[in-house]
Amino acid sequence: MITTDALGSLEFSSPEEEWIEYGPPGERTRVPFHDYAAIYAVPGLYERAFYEGLGMCSARVVCELYANALRTLGRPAAGERVLDLGAGNGIGGQELRETVGVAEVVGADLEPAAERAAERDRPGIYAQYATADLGERPEVLDELGEVSAVVACSAIGAGHIGLDLLTAIVTRAVRPGGLLAFAVADGLVPDFLDELAPRVGGEQVVDAIDYVHRRQTDGTPHRARAVCWRVDPAG
């Protein structure tokens, strides 16, 4: 198994985010910047590249927003069952379980390598983990069961989960009065939020925050907004 020490120093292409290079001198390896299967296959690489190298903080920010909403609404985290949407190798799931105190977390991701990495890196975090294209196989949500909230730490927006799919997931999986907490790139605000709100009954914003999701490889900030909505509060 490759340890984080064996990853050596990391280098990134810039200004275009095309590749990540890692490894000791003489044994350097490059992987495409968004090739998550290749990145998850190397233990520690995702965290080193995105969280340590580029300062990604969305798991913490979105989960804190969700935790604050629970306190505002007087809902104990120990009674929650949450879908970690775009679960990856379990960073958000671990935050939900160990920091927020959520009783049960189920995960879903498009990438099979993500599920393998989550089991390798954070065994036991998820009660269930589904690998599927939820747009093509929505029945997987029924297999995961109804949840009190959907939390998506960095899976929403262009190239990821779009407006129509997020609407379908929330309306199918979340019980009325449940919560939706997610982050969306600053460039999609406010149109994305304005269009999503009436679809999921989320006119009542419990909390929202603007923040820097991560640095881009050229050093410029990748800004985002994290939002927590109550889903269909009248339902």
- In the chain, the DSSP E strands lie at 11-12, 19-22, 29-32, 81-85, 104-109, 128-131, 147-152, 174-185, 205-215, 221-230
Q: Is the peptide bond before 24 cis (omega within 30 degrees of 0)?
A: no
Structure tokens at 91: 């960073």
Q: What is the mean pLDDT of residues 134-146?
A: 95
pTM of the model: 0.93
% of the chain exceeding 70 in pLDDT: 96
Residue 50: Cβ within 10 Å count: 22
**Is a pLDDT exceeding 80 seen at residue 228?**
yes
Position 4 confidence tier, pLDDT thresholds 50, 70, 90: low
**pLDDT score for 2:** 42
Structural domains of the chain ordered from first start: 5-53 (no CATH), 58-230 (3.40.50.150)
Q: Which two tokens stand for residue 109?
A: 């991701």
Query: Is 152 in contact with 181 (CB distance < 8 Å)?
Result: yes
**Structure token pair of residue 127:** 């009660």
Peptide bond into 190 cis (omega under 30): yes
Distance from C-alpha of 175 to C-alpha of 179, rounded to nearest angstrom: 9
How many angstroms from the chain centroid is the CA of residue 117?
A: 15
Asked if pLDDT for residue 1 goes beyond 60, the answer is no
20 versus 5: the higher-pLDDT residue is: 20
Arithmetic mean of pLDDT, 56-82: 96
pLDDT at 235: 43
**Over the stretch 144-194, which tens digit does the pLDDT of each residue have?**
999 999 999 988 876 788 999 999 999 999 998 899 999 998 888 788 888
What is the pLDDT of the chain when averaged over all its residues? Answer: 92
The mean pLDDT value for 29-54 works out to: 96
Beta bridge pairs of residue 107: 84, 129
